[in-house]
Structure 1
Amino acid sequence: MMDRATGESVLREIPRQAILIVNAMSRSGADVFDEVRDKLIAAGVELIEAHAINNPDDMEPAVRNAVAKAPMVIIGGGDGSLSSNVDFFVGHDTVFAFIPLGTANSFAGTLGIPKDIDSAVDVIANGVLKRIDLGRIDGDYFVNAAAIGLSPMIAQTVPHRLKRYLGIVGYLIWASWCAVRFRPFKIIITSEDGLKEKFWATEVRIANGSHHGGLELIESQQVDSGVIVIQAVTGRSVWGLSWSWFATIFKLRARHGTTREFRGTNMQLNARPRQNISIDGEVAATTPVTVSIAGDVIEVAAPREGQF
């Protein structure tokens, strides 16, 4: 944040007062609300209010009201809960903090936060404030990453009980079943200068952060880069997609030959046939879309250097 009188950067400390809102519909939210609340209080965070949300219609109003009256709002839930509610923080000084309670918890990975409650509480109590970018798809903000291809197919069809009780293993089981039915598609990307690229792809990642599906797949991206990255796994083979994931996960040199990356602040994205888009794990858009970056728009609680 800038001091308007001097023009110099001013560092703010993480607020000690907050409102806690836990999505009790997330994978572990219903089971850990009391634990999260008690650990935050023990760490020195003064909770003005604490809510466990069981009705999906109540989540957004609760967050909107909290942002209007608290210096920090802590959301407990998966990546989808974070992404669908981050819009309310834009244009406010309220700090966005979170407890990762989902399946993949990719945004935690992007920020370098271990995916357990104790580490997330430690960040909120002892971390630092960090200003970050948000991605946008047709003006809808998201925190971490969106995807076209197998990911939205899995997200749209995975049985809730499989996701809830088996977590990432359940996703992998369902992904194998979906892969049999999956078909490649043609992707069309138009850059800011009007240059159009068209090619076959099996997956497209729209990245504000470095992690997707709980793993680091877009290592070139950072949440304060000022650009959005579109990374496409090229080709027409599902086995090629599997090889790309394998090579990327294990940091093999061959990984760079399986993808193409496009970087910019505003790009057009289309596909033939039309494709659903999962935004931080929730299917929420369909091609064609405008993909853009909103730079330096919110403050988050992030790990301090050397904290983990």
Structure 2
Amino acid sequence: METTDLPKDAILVVNAHSRRGQDNFDQAREKLESAGVRLLAAHAVKDPEQMAATVRQAIATGAPMVIVGGGDGSMSGTVDEFVGKDCVFGVLPLGTANSFARTLGLPLDLDGAVQAIATGRRRRVDLGMVDGDYFVNAASLGLSPMIGRTVPHKLKRYLGRIGYLAWAAKCSVGFRAFRLTIDDGTQEHRMWSTEVRVLNGPYHGGVELSDHADVDTGEIVIQAVVGRSKPRLAWDWYAKFFKLRDRDAHTREFHGKSFRIETRPRQRISIDGEVLARTPVTVRIAPGAVDVAVARDE
């Protein structure tokens, strides 16, 4: 019989190179065990490139749940390992924006996140895909990948979202709009754009960008900031950050299971904060792809 209860045995894998990962690894291990989670193993991973391999090995041991501690990049970089496996994906939000944790309704503090894992339930959720790469939350093209590709690690680590904003202002000086084509399989939509967000959930960069995207709708959402104006892009972020009434005035949204995205010139694509692809690409939804741990009352 299928159950929504979470397993009590787990393996912990923390990105110790993330903004708070090194400081929180020991605390997370102690708090999880104190809350009744039996840790079969615990790994503080110094090299982020080893996160996926460490999670893969943990799942291969037969652990019923693997808890990943880190930011959205860590979640996106390891979630592929859970697809098609009977293993629950536990999320410890230790990053800068923690957009995936926000989408799941998880507490962003360590104590609250630990309690959700210790006393919560399973939830089956969708994943987004860029070509063959799964992601948990959002992909973007335009100014965001330029920021993500060039932002100094120390600025990101110690100043968080404030650091991102400062670097965004710097990057915007040399940024130019691009021609965008979105093919939904029946029609091509052409426009100028300064930023495109491919959303599996409502949050990107810790900001709620869409009222329609979520992890259990069975659809991917493409949101394009239209026009050639950089001040309009800045206003769009401002309006969405403060949830102004006209926050959607400069965006167009497309909903569906699969889209082809092309741009002129070609644009780099940031996938949950990591620049990993380039247009043209096919983006689509992978419905009900993984089980995640969420709070019991989520």
- Normalising by the smaller structure, the TM-score range is over 0.9
Instruction: State whether residues 210 and 220 of structure 1, in contact with CA within 8 Å, keep that contact through their aligned partners in structure 2.
Output: yes
- Deviating runs (4+, > 3 A) in structure 1? none
Q: Does 1:272 align with 2:260?
A: no
Structure 1 window deviating more from structure 2 (238-247 vs 269-278): it is: 238-247
CA–CA separation in structure 1 for the residues paired with 2:164 and 2:122? 33
Indicate which of 84, 96, 104 corresponds to 2:77. 84
Residue 13 of structure 2 aligns to which amino acid in structure 1? I
1:250 deviates by: 2.3
Q: TM-score, normalised by structure 2?
A: 0.97
Q: Does 1:216 align with 2:218?
A: no
CA–CA separation in structure 2 for the residues paired with 1:201 and 1:114? 34
Indicate which of 185, 191, 195 corresponds to 2:178. 185
CA–CA separation in structure 2 for the residues paired with 1:62 and 1:296? 24
1:249 deviates by: 2.1
Indicate which of 143, 151, 155 corresponds to 2:136. 143
CA–CA separation in structure 1 for the residues paired with 2:276 and 2:49? 16
Q: Deviations over 1:75-100 (max 9, x none)?
A: 01110011011011000110001111
1:245 deviates by: 1.3
Indicate which of 298, 302, 307 corresponds to 2:294. 302
Q: Deviations over 1:135-163 (max 9, x none)?
A: 00001100000101111111000001111
Q: Does 1:116 align with 2:109?
A: yes
CA–CA separation in structure 1 for the residues paired with 2:246 and 2:92? 35
1:56 deviates by: 3.2
1:221 deviates by: 0.8
1:57 deviates by: 3.9
Instruction: State whether residues 192 and 264 of structure 1, in contact with CA within 8 Å, keep that contact through their aligned partners in structure 2.
Output: no
Report the counterpart of residue 225 of structure 1 in structure 2: 217
Q: Deviations over 1:18-43 (max 9, x none)?
A: 00000111111111110110011111
Indicate which of 152, 156, 163 corresponds to 1:159. 152
1:55 deviates by: 2.4
CA–CA separation in structure 2 for the residues paired with 1:106 and 1:149? 19
Instruction: State whether residues 10 and 41 of structure 2, in contact with CA within 8 Å, keep that contact through their aligned partners in structure 1.
Output: yes
Instruction: State whether residues 19 and 74 of structure 1, in contact with CA within 8 Å, keep that contact through their aligned partners in structure 2.
Output: yes
Q: TM-score, normalised by structure 1?
A: 0.94
1:12 deviates by: 2.7
Report the counterpart of residue 5 of structure 2 in structure 1: 13
1:109 deviates by: 1.1
CA–CA separation in structure 2 for the residues paired with 1:219 and 1:110? 12
CA–CA separation in structure 1 for the residues paired with 2:227 and 2:291? 38
Residue 273 of structure 1 aligns to which amino acid in structure 2? P
Q: How well do the aligned residues superpose, as a CA RMSD in angstroms?
A: 1.1
Instruction: State whether residues 51 and 77 of structure 2, in contact with CA within 8 Å, keep that contact through their aligned partners in structure 1.
Output: no
CA–CA separation in structure 1 for the residues paired with 2:195 and 2:248? 15
Report the counterpart of residue 248 of structure 2 in structure 1: 256
Report the counterpart of residue 166 of structure 2 in structure 1: 173
Indicate which of 55, 58, 61 corresponds to 2:50. 58
Report the counterpart of residue 291 of structure 1 in structure 2: 283
Report the counterpart of residue 28 of structure 2 in structure 1: 36
Residue 137 of structure 2 aligns to which amino acid in structure 1? N
1:216 deviates by: 0.6
Q: What secondary structure sits across from 2:215 in the alignment?
A: coil
Instruction: State whether residues 276 and 283 of structure 1, in contact with CA within 8 Å, keep that contact through their aligned partners in structure 2.
Output: yes
1:256 deviates by: 2.2
Q: Does 1:236 align with 2:228?
A: yes
1:247 deviates by: 1.7
Q: What secondary structure sits across from 2:173 in the alignment?
A: helix
CA–CA separation in structure 2 for the residues paired with 1:270 and 1:48? 46
Indicate which of 101, 121, 126 corresponds to 1:128. 121
Structure 1 window deviating more from structure 2 (225-234 vs 174-183): it is: 174-183
Instruction: State whether residues 207 and 240 of structure 2, in contact with CA within 8 Å, keep that contact through their aligned partners in structure 1.
Output: no
1:253 deviates by: 2.4
Q: What secondary structure sits across from 2:247 in the alignment?
A: helix
1:112 deviates by: 1.4
How many residue pairs were aligned? 297
Percent identity of equivalent pairs: 57
- 5+ residue gaps in structure 1? 4-9
Report the counterpart of residue 282 of structure 1 in structure 2: 274
